Amino acid sequence: MKSIFFHLMPYRDLPADFEKRYESIWITPPNTELCDPKKVAQYYQWNLDELELADRLGFDGVGVNEHHQNGYGFMASPNLMAASLARRTPNNSAIMVLGNTLALYAPATRVAEEFAMLDVLSNGRLAAGFPVGTSMDVNFCYGVPPTQTRPRFREAEELITQAWTRPGPFSFNGRYNQLRYVNPWPQPLQKPHPPVWLAGGGSVETWELAAAKNYTYSYLSFFGAKFGKKLMDGFWAKMDELGVDRNPFRAGFAQQICVSETDERAEKEYLEHVTYFFNKCLHIPPYFFEAPGYRTRKSTEFAIKTNQPGAIAAAAALEKNWKTLNEEGFIIAGSPSTVADRLIEVAKTLRVGNLHALLQIGSMPHELTKKNITLFAEEVMPRIRHVWDAEGWTHEWWPSGAANRAVTEPTGAQA
């Protein structure tokens, strides 16, 4: 299994009564009141230091993503962060940009250009994430009509992949992107193009696209494997239905992880920061989650059949109930062997070959974050790396210029 250190870049010093005083962490948290650029200057240094540390410690990839007007992730341009990382990751980790919210860009050739630049700059280490994007970002922050979210995403996906692979110049006559001359300089270094990583919250349409175009799919949620199982079972059932193989590297999932010397110590060190995350960083009113028209009829029919875990998570965090957070799978925390055992179990349950490890959580300070990253890299990663070796699959979606660490290590290295 590939381990990617995925950084959300949260605001680490929200006021203690934030969730009581403000409507939402996203879209409307008043910027001049809550977001101090001087603090952010410090955060950005810490965030990049943490990502660079992960590269040195041998993570397979370092991950960044895009959000807007959001207190738990103010990386409005993940490409800027990725550009910085491309120059400062000597251990050749994959640069995972998960991703650019395609529906926001018209013409979407801007994404094709910037991703191509990153791919060239990093010597072919880019994984190009194509998320549909949240309703908060796409509809509320960027003003795209909810009913245009998916059509714009699909058209942009088509335009970008053509821009990367068709000899230019050519014309593109879309509904949202109408271009007489498509001819970006340069095209990407990786051929036919950087691997595309879809990221989403469980839309049936996204799975169908993953199958049709042979893209990977990462289920990005903060609610862990227990809830994710219903979705990933749905994903694999769809792959079976469409005649796609069960290569686990087609799939990824995000997990909040806290590693310490012992299980007891993990609770002592991390509980406060995990609680901060669930109480403050997920303080989003339900009406922002899905503007009417954001989700299609088809995907809603599926979603209605599954449970929404947000309320449970919030309740568990409010009670500071470490046990519930662990049992429900919202976090995987404890000693290296506890964490490794649970990750192996989760990987097998969900059948995923890519782990987006969320190791900086909420208010977690820089020193503790470095400890979490270090313990994970040194003591957890070697135990989970070879989870899928016995099945003999090839990771067809790993950036070709990135180090492929799994093959350089002896098999059977698990403790």
Partner 1 sequence: MTTTQSPVDERIVQVGPIAARVLVAGTGEPLLFLHGAGGLFWDPFLDTLAAEHTVYAVEHPGGNVSEDLDHLPGIWELVLFYDELLDTLGLDSVRVVGHSFGGMVAAELAANSPRRVSRLVLIAPVGFWREDHPIADIAGVPPEKLVELVLADPSSPLAATLTPPADDPQALFEAAMRMASILHFIWPIPDKGLDRRIHRVSAPTLLVWGEQDRLVDPVYAEEFTSRLRDSRLVTIPDAGHLPTLEQTAAVVPPVLGFLTGKDA
Among 300, 324, 349, 404, interactor with partner 1 by CB under 8 A: 300
* 20 sits near partner 1 (criterion: CB under 8 A): no
- Torsion, Cα of 342, 348, 351, 353 (10° steps): 70
* 151 sits near partner 1 (criterion: CB under 8 A): yes
- Encoded tokens for 259: 């590693």
Which residues touch 402 (CB under 8 Å, ≥6 apart)? 60, 61, 92, 93, 94, 95, 124, 125
Minimum Å distance from CB 333 to partner 1?
Answer: 32
* 291 sits near partner 1 (criterion: CB under 8 A): yes
Residue 303 vs 344, nearer CB to partner 1: 303
Residue 119 vs 137, nearer CB to partner 1: 137
Sole window of 33-41, 59-67, 193-201, 289-297 interacting with partner 1 (rule: CB under 8 A): 289-297
Residue 301 vs 396, nearer CB to partner 1: 301
Which residues touch 76 (CB under 8 Å, ≥6 apart)? 66, 67, 68
Residue 183 vs 306, nearer CB to partner 1: 306
Residue 292 vs 365, nearer CB to partner 1: 292
In the block, residue with structure tokens 């093959």: 407
Residue 150 vs 280, nearer CB to partner 1: 150
Which secondary structure element, helix H or strand E, spans residue 206, and what is its range? helix 204-213
Residue 171 burial (CB < 10 Å; 0-12/13-18/19+)?
A: exposed
Q: How far is CA 294 from CA 76, 117, 136, 303, 342, in A?
A: 21, 31, 10, 13, 34
* 70 sits near partner 1 (criterion: CB under 8 A): no
* 290 sits near partner 1 (criterion: CB under 8 A): yes
Residue 293 vs 382, nearer CB to partner 1: 293
Q: Kindly report the number of other CB atoms within 10 A of residue 250's CB atom.
A: 27
Residue 290 vs 341, nearer CB to partner 1: 290
Sole window of 45-53, 282-290, 353-361, 363-371 interacting with partner 1 (rule: CB under 8 A): 282-290
* 30 sits near partner 1 (criterion: CB under 8 A): no
Minimum Å distance from CB 396 to partner 1?
Answer: 34
Q: How many residues of this chain interact with partner 1, rule: CB under 8 A?
A: 23
Reference 398, options 359, 349, 346, 353; nearest CA is: 353
Strands 251-259 and 354-358 come out as: parallel
d(CA 315, CA 383): 33
* 304 sits near partner 1 (criterion: CB under 8 A): yes
Minimum Å distance from CB 297 to partner 1?
Answer: 6
Q: Contact, 330 vs 278, CB < 8 A?
A: yes
Point out which residues pair with 384 in neighbouring strands: none
Minimum Å distance from CB 141 to partner 1?
Answer: 10
Among 139, 218, 360, 372, interactor with partner 1 by CB under 8 A: 139
Minimum Å distance from CB 90 to partner 1?
Answer: 44
Chain residues 185-244 in contact with partner 1, contact rule CB under 8 A: none
d(CA 229, CA 224): 9
Among 91, 92, 123, 147, interactor with partner 1 by CB under 8 A: 147
Residue 290 vs 389, nearer CB to partner 1: 290
Residue 78 vs 107, nearer CB to partner 1: 107
Residue 65 vs 69, nearer CB to partner 1: 69
Minimum Å distance from CB 235 to partner 1?
Answer: 22
Reference 180, options 167, 190, 171; nearest CA is: 171
* 27 sits near partner 1 (criterion: CB under 8 A): yes
Q: Contact, 146 vs 217, CB < 8 A?
A: no
Q: Give the chain's length.
A: 415
- Encoded tokens for 26: 């996203």
Which secondary structure element, helix H or strand E, spans residue 118, and what is its range? helix 109-121
Sole window of 97-105, 259-267, 287-295, 334-342 interacting with partner 1 (rule: CB under 8 A): 287-295
Minimum Å distance from CB 6 to partner 1?
Answer: 29
Q: Contact, 324 vs 313, CB < 8 A?
A: no
Kindly list the residues in this chain that would bind partner 1 in the complex (CB under 8 A): 27, 139-140, 143-148, 151, 175, 285-288, 290-293, 296-297, 300, 304
